[in-house]
Structure 1
Amino acid sequence: MAIQLRPYQQTAVDAFFQALADGRKRQLVVLPTGAGKTIVFGSVARRFHEEVSRDKPILVIAHRTELLDQAEQKIRYVWPEAFIGRIQGARNEQLGDVLLASTQTLVAGRRIPQPGLIIYDECHHSRAEGALGVLERLGVFESDGPPLLGVTATPSRSDRTELGDIFEHLTYERTILDMIMDGYLSDVRGVKVEVPGLNLGAIRTVGGDYNAKDLSYVMNIEEALDAVVDAVLTHAPDRKTLVFAVDVKHARALAERFQKRGIACAAVDGAMKAEERAAILQAFSEERLRVLVNCQILTEGYDQPDVDCVVIARPTRSQALYVQMVGRALRLHPAKSDALVLDLSGASDDKSLQTFARLMRTQRKKAVGVQVVEEQDIADDIPIEEGESVGEWLTRMAQKREKAAQVAQAINLFANRSRYRWQQIKETFAISYGDNGWAYLFRDGDEFWPVLELRNEKFIPLHERALPLEYAQGIVEGFLALIESKVIDKEADWRQAPMSPRQKYVLDKYRIKYDDTWTRGMAADALGQKFAAKRVKVLQKNFNAQKWRSALAEPHGRAWLEQRLMALRVHAQARARVAQTS
């Protein structure tokens, strides 16, 4: 059972095939981190195989093992029956519907079958001399060569070499701002942290960015190291934090400084053995570390959705690099309400330094979901303020301009500060949608089952397999959207009303402390946490993930589940219609 695409993902896929029909062979799709680029190109691959050509394999190229692993995993979400081969190092699996190939292996001269379609993941690397030679060898620039789809979050390179000589058509683009407004990325705010004595304007530049050796020297001084730790303790004391350092020396010095201040922290870098690096990443995932410092390794291909703070302790002039770093905190997660970006800068700014405020100005000019009201750019007229979130900024812009009704409407769609209020009970997320109905995100290894509770303490998954958290969350919330229950809407008007006598009675019964300032929403949240803990115990007792996994591995099991889910959707829609007419 393939997962359903989000509307913008489907639009991107359709746009690719329309452009292909119009004769555009070398296409570029730009989507921010967390938007599901891999899901998009996996869907393109499947449709190309089904509708255009089955005779030749589809080649996916990426420059890192983590990206190839992600591609293999997520292509199966949209194309479960695909036969996938890997061409990397000693692996040379040249038979398959999809061939996943390492850039380095192809640059080294590995011969492969002629592909019908080439997909280049993180294609801002395609301009590198070796990669460009691979594309030439595969015939991409020939009139009868295979079409090329490049996907990236950052279509410009840090060395300012553009991609226009490779890709002839920008087929689809969504900005971070678009995705936040539509509720597919977390709301985010930025805070500028001044490092005493730091003067970035005095540092030499190489290839458009700061000289790494010079930057390492100034960022490794005592004041700069302390500034990073102090910033986290001051602005992000309870946040799961990812720090970007200049180099290995800087990363290790920062980790040691955090540890001395009593914060569970470690550093990862490319020089580590893969097993050691994996163990540290696992510890961070499991909350045994609160801060993780890295250098030049987690900017691409790293997904940890509950990270809600990034520290740019590696100042940069490269917008491409800056966007990649900020993107690590933008994925949705039921337990976070927003993300925080801490920008380290000097007392006197370098005008080319990338900052959160500067990124928002750029995003504002490119966003499709916000209309420019006058010729003067509204983002320059009303800049984002220190510590202000994107949502708060857009709200302020909407209030300032009478004609910004489109902005105000889009802000109301902030589904990630989530439209729904989840309760987290250890590693399980639960939500009540009224009339004793409950839905869950049940952890199974590194993934989550989207689960619905039926009557008599019985449970049914809403998908045939466990998925990464953000996809499982999307499936449950897609089902809840059918119900249109005001009980679960975080922005519902009733939440601001005073507590009811019944709520006070139940709070007293369970000895939950409250005061007279509590609203109905605050009381509902406290009681919801209490009741969710009870329901999760029942879920853990009665939902057998292994049993469901075995049953749904069989075709008749998947067919049965599809029939049940269809009946549940019909029932939910009927229930919503009754509620609307009552």
Structure 2
Amino acid sequence: MIRAKVGGAMSGDAPSLRPYQREAVEAVLSARRAGTRRMLVCLPTGAGKTVVFAHLARLAKRPVLVIAHREELLSQARSKLQHALGAEAVVAIEQGGRRAEAEARVVVCSIRSLRTERLARLLAGRDVGLVIYDECHHAAAEDNLRVLRELGCFEPGWTGTLVGFTATTARGDGKGLDEVFEEIVYARTLPEMIHDGYLVPLRGYRVATSADLTRLTSRGNDFREEELAEAVDIEERNALVARSIQELARDRRTIAFCVTVAHAQHLRRSLQALGVRAGTVHGEMPSDDRARVLRDFAEGRLQALTNVAVLTEGFDDPGVSCVAMARPTRSEGMYAQCVGRGTRLSPGKKDCLVLDFVDVSELSLCSLPSLFGMPRELDLEGREVGEAERFFEQLAFDHPAFEVEAGAITLGEIQARAEAFDPLTQEVDVEVRAISRNAWASLGRHGLALHFERAPGRLSEALVVSRGARGRRWEVSLDGRAVERFSAIEEAVQAVDFEVHRMGRAAEASARAEASWRRAAAPKGRAEAVAGVRRGGRAATALGDVLALEAWVKVTTGAKRAGPVKRGR
């Protein structure tokens, strides 16, 4: 268990904690006091996860086991733990031919090395009280679960603590970490860390390619790698990626993420053909060769590195200032990990450039804008993400009814469309016009609205609103009460039209565009309340237009209708 308080005296020259790191440590201690034994801490790449678990190791009263996946992670973790614990503490590595000393207080080990016999020998005479699992999004894999079971983490009487650290809770195979961990006790996102100044700002370019991903199938929540490699590892695309890196990241140290080893090698050759000093690292390389290439990159002899998965975890080079996403992905977790490799602070480093290479696809591929909640097709044109966020905040204030349409678009194009936007000019789909004579008003992608008189002077509102992506998605509501759902919008329109017809000829006539009540003057207060949603803040005066604008505001912003409107008031 972890018994010491965070604020207690600490010996040695340990690195000080940033505020969020202190919060993470306190969250772990609080959760353990509350009875949670297997907990998760989510911190983005570059946030200093190793510093946090090094402090947890200092607080532990019993031996500590640190689990990692890659050889590079073992050495980094041992170095930072030794610094945090002081020279007197024994921090050992258990991996391959290396064996941890019996007196080691902290053992950093490769989970792949922990076969049953080796783990039993390691635990002999050690009453491990704290297990720290770095990059623990791999934990749900069956062999990794075996190690955790043999450590006793799932035993009812286990008195230890398992703390997992990761930048993402998502696994590529879709298997959830809730099988391993009881609770996420602390989490910070990449956008939060950038906003708070702990990571450098991001700026980006969108580069369109002709590679076609429309026929690819999925495995888990991402593409099948063999199919993806066949689609994107083509000479024309590799040349485009290399040329983009050469032109847009000329003075930046760049890492490019690829699909397969062959893809990484082909892209490296394309870069070298343009005179870019490039190398390749991948998991199949001998460790000495991989270390040599990484050293050449860190010391400036190489400007660009192409890689396959190796640099998504544990790579710690603050000098990287460009990330080239030559590997398209649907996984936000993988995308965030890749981008995070360029966000670490470093002297003289102002920002990190992200190059999104966008292929032809009907699927939702991750992009830098989508990571921050903006339209995934947005082209930042080299602007900082923060500038784009401020743009959208101002856009929502200036044009509250405007919605960005799907498709590749720039901030300038969005601004021009927003300034020209008027909800009253939105056209109803031709299919709806073909089946209905009534004055349906378009609510954009959200649906339709129809206003009519249920009785003389008593107006009613029928809405057909999308409530999902498939199935019976079109919900019909009458005067705020949900009535029925339909698979097709045309079916919903016909159902409303039939209901209006049943109410009688007067109601049916009032639903037409030529009904006189639509041109009656709207109450001044209501007209002014929705004036801001039109181009230039022009107020609508006709009652029919005001009701249509109110319906637009209701479905796009969730605002409630201001109250009943009676004709002639």
The bucket for the TM-score relative to the shorter chain is: 0.5 to 0.7
Name the CA shift for 1:158/1:57 in 2 (closer, same or farther; >3 Å): same
Within-5 A mapping of 1:298-317: 298-317=311-330
- The one-letter code matched in structure 1 to 2:105 is D
Identity percentage of aligned residues = 42
Range with greater deviation from structure 2 (116-125 or 210-219): 210-219
| Corresponding position: 1:189 with 2:188 | no
2:25 is aligned, of 13, 21, 26, to: 13
Post-superposition offset of 1:399: 4.4
1:75 is aligned, of 81, 96, 99, to: 81
CA–CA separation in structure 2 for the residues paired with 1:231 and 1:96: 49
Post-superposition offset of 1:325: 1.0
1:104 is aligned, of 108, 112, 115, to: 112
Tell me if structure 1 keeps the 8 A contact 2:312–2:337. Answer: yes
CA–CA separation in structure 2 for the residues paired with 1:143 and 1:177: 38
Residue 367 (structure 2) aligns with = 355
Name the CA shift for 1:15/1:402 in 2 (closer, same or farther; >3 Å): farther
Within-5 A mapping of 1:145-164: 145=158, 146-164=160-178
Provide Cα deviations, 1:472-528, integer angstroms capped at 9, x if missing partner. Answer: xxxxxxxxxxxxxxxxxxxxxxxxxxxxxxxxxxxxxxxxxxxxxxxxxxxxxxxxx
CA–CA separation in structure 2 for the residues paired with 1:331 and 1:381: 24
Provide Cα deviations, 1:555-578, integer angstroms capped at 9, x if missing partner. Answer: xxxxxxxxxxxxxxxxxxxxxxxx
Name the CA shift for 1:256/1:381 in 2 (closer, same or farther; >3 Å): closer
Post-superposition offset of 1:76: 2.4
- The one-letter code matched in structure 2 to 1:334 is P
Residue 117 (structure 1) aligns with = 130
| Corresponding position: 1:396 with 2:376 | no
Residue 135 (structure 1) aligns with = 148
RMSD (CA atoms): 2.1
Name the CA shift for 1:340/1:6 in 2 (closer, same or farther; >3 Å): same
Which TM-score applies when normalising by structure 1?
Answer: 0.62
Residue 291 (structure 1) aligns with = 304
Tell me if structure 2 keeps the 8 A contact 1:58–1:116. Answer: yes
| Corresponding position: 1:88 with 2:95 | yes
Provide Cα deviations, 1:46-80, integer angstroms capped at 9, x if missing partner. Answer: 112xxxx3xx3111111111111111111123221
Residue 126 (structure 1) aligns with = 139
Post-superposition offset of 1:401: 6.5
Tell me if structure 1 keeps the 8 A contact 2:205–2:379. Answer: no
Post-superposition offset of 1:125: 0.8
Name the CA shift for 1:321/1:382 in 2 (closer, same or farther; >3 Å): closer
Tell me if structure 2 keeps the 8 A contact 1:306–1:335. Answer: no
Residue 63 (structure 2) aligns with = 57
Residue 277 (structure 1) aligns with = 290
Name the CA shift for 1:65/1:108 in 2 (closer, same or farther; >3 Å): farther
Which TM-score applies when normalising by structure 2?
Answer: 0.64
CA–CA separation in structure 2 for the residues paired with 1:338 and 1:23: 42
Tell me if structure 2 keeps the 8 A contact 1:384–1:393. Answer: no
CA–CA separation in structure 2 for the residues paired with 1:119 and 1:28: 10
Q: How many residues align?
A: 378
Give runs of ≥4 in structure 1 deviating > 6 Å.
380-384
Tell me if structure 1 keeps the 8 A contact 2:330–2:365. Answer: yes
Range with greater deviation from structure 2 (89-98 or 16-25): 89-98
Structure 1: which 5+ runs fail to align?
362-378, 404-582
CA–CA separation in structure 1 for the residues paired with 2:363 and 2:302: 35
Name the CA shift for 1:213/1:174 in 2 (closer, same or farther; >3 Å): same
Tell me if structure 2 keeps the 8 A contact 1:270–1:297. Answer: yes
- The one-letter code matched in structure 1 to 2:366 is Q
1:387 is aligned, of 368, 374, 382, to: 382
- The one-letter code matched in structure 1 to 2:203 is R
| Structure whose CA Rg is larger | 2
3-state SS of the aligned residue for 1:92? coil
CA–CA separation in structure 2 for the residues paired with 1:91 and 1:287: 31
Residue 505 (structure 1) aligns with = none
Post-superposition offset of 1:144: 2.1
Structure 2: which 5+ runs fail to align?
1-12, 399-569
Name the CA shift for 1:350/1:180 in 2 (closer, same or farther; >3 Å): same
CA–CA separation in structure 2 for the residues paired with 1:402 and 1:210: 38
| Corresponding position: 1:323 with 2:318 | no
